[in-house]
Amino acid sequence: MLSLNQRLTQTQKLSPQQIQYQKLLQLNTMALEQRIKTELEINPILEEMLEGELELNQEDSDDSPDEIEDVSKEDEFEIEDLMNESDIDDNRINKSRDDDEQTQPLSPSRKSLTEQLIEQLHLLDLDEDEIILGEVIIQSLDQDGYLDLELKKLVEDLEMFEHVSIKIERAEEILSMIQNFEPVGIATRDLRECLLVQIRNSSFDPYYSYLAEKILENYFKEFVNKRFDVIEKQMNLTRDTLRTTIDVIHKLNPKPGEGNIISEEANQITPDFIVEKMEGNYIITLNDKSVPSVTISQTYLEMLNNNKRKRKISNRDRETHKFLREKFESAKWFIASIQQRRMTLMRIMQAILEKQYEFFEIGARALKPMIYKYIAEEVNMDISTISRVVNGKYVQSPVGIHELKYFFSEGLSTDSGTEISNKHIKEIIKEICDGESKKSPYSDDKIAGMLKEKGIQIARRTVAKYREQLFIPVARLRKEL
């Protein structure tokens, strides 16, 4: 039975402007640059400021994220207030426009690995359909240079969607040709095939190359699991001969695509912040020199003001005025959100620097346990805002390039009562494994005991978890001849 009820509830909703601000917070520098370019295309009210036109506002901006909501009141936010205010006058935030600024030389253009492989493909005596298959294979490689798609599926898809018909036997021949391109072993389907292709094209001693090929063909599982005693017995080899053969295999490249640019779109880390030490103090710079500076178009602003002054407005002028007003409001909020984003990022990075000051002085060993809540309380912001800022953003400092998330970690108490970051513990575990005898690597129990001697109470299973996160194999797989 239907009924009508009245209920009083309290809900909290974000305005479109607040949502836009939150989305901009999530973007890193490269994504923000693209987002601004997109906004410039869709909003005629916005225009990019040329370098000579930049006029910095000399008044400091102390707005907080909550103040974005207040800006929407027309009597508190005049049109002229937005003119020439795309940058905030703070040396740590503004892009440097000094005449003596040193420009970085452009790096020489470099062909992607995909382009290099396609060039080699076109040197082969293949027909048009075979060239198409070869290009599809090359474009399907992962970052390590492996073909992780089934060749039969690629052939079937080409026949279905491109009407390219190639027998699977011929497809295997074409794939084999590509695997012998430079770098050798590219487009292989697993590690075993990758190493076999390389050893068959190597210039090592023929005897040891032959033994290495036999090990990879017949004893690959034993090789991977380092059961060298089994290989030695089954192949009737001396220890010295086996050691030399294993050394030959270790000289092969298990990731032929690594270190090469698979495509021009390959991910590159561009730091969002730069931390430099000058005269004993750390200076934070927002690395946004490539981000366009935007402002309100003077031409459209005059059109909007002229329409407001007219006593009689035609329907066409009314529609134009409405359109310009909507675009102006959108542009106003966009500029305000960018300004606020800069201030928020700088406040959070400054808080991280203060909390992890010793890290920037010494390195990973000085990293302190820290969670989002600590920074949120420091800058008086919500934890979700901290999460949006640190996700996917990087800082370049004298101790290297690190993702902001790196500075946040849980900790364990030592016997002395102080807390130590789990990242510091991982560094110690890595040092222990690096310094161990490869003939008799330490077990997880042994490593846990060594940590306890340093005053760090830690369980064996926790050592195993940290070791796996460091991509360090178990003791048996770390053993060498």
User: Which of residues 415 and 389 earns the better pLDDT score?
Assistant: 389
Least confident range from 92-96, 212-216, 472-476: namely 92-96
User: Does 388 score more than 70 pLDDT?
Assistant: yes
> What is the pLDDT confidence band of residue 98, given thresholds at 50, 70 and 90?
very low
User: Does 10 score more than 70 pLDDT?
Assistant: no
11-26 residue pLDDT tens: 555 666 677 778 888 8
Kindly state the tokens that stand for 171. Answer: 């497809």
Ranges assigned E (strand) in 61-155:
none
User: What pLDDT score does 308 carry?
Assistant: 62
143-198 residue pLDDT tens: 889 998 899 999 998 988 888 899 999 999 999 999 999 999 999 999 999 999 99
User: What pLDDT score does 79 carry?
Assistant: 34
| Distance from C-alpha of 447 to C-alpha of 465, rounded to nearest angstrom | 12
User: What pLDDT score does 6 carry?
Assistant: 74
| Distance from C-alpha of 25 to C-alpha of 29, rounded to nearest angstrom | 10
For residue 151, the Cα-to-chain-centroid distance in whole angstroms is 30
Kindly state the tokens that stand for 396. Answer: 């370049």
Q: What is the mean pLDDT of the chain?
A: 81
How are beta strands 273-278 and 281-286 bridged, if at all?
antiparallel
Q: Please name the residues in contact with 420: beta carbons below 8 A apart, sequence gap of 6 or more.
A: 369, 411, 412, 413, 414, 456
| Distance from C-alpha of 228 to C-alpha of 479, rounded to nearest angstrom | 10
> What is the pLDDT confidence band of residue 330, given thresholds at 50, 70 and 90?
confident
The candidate with the shortest Cα–Cα distance to 135, out of 64, 144, 55, 147, is 147
Span 256-267, mean pLDDT?
60
Span 29-33, mean pLDDT?
87
For residue 282, the Cα-to-chain-centroid distance in whole angstroms is 25
User: What pLDDT score does 152 carry?
Assistant: 92
> What is the pLDDT confidence band of residue 74, given thresholds at 50, 70 and 90?
very low
Does this model's pTM top 0.95? My answer is: no
CATH class entry, domain 411-478: mainly alpha
Domain boundaries, the chain: 16-94+293-340, 113-250, 411-478
Element (H, E) at 278: strand 273-278
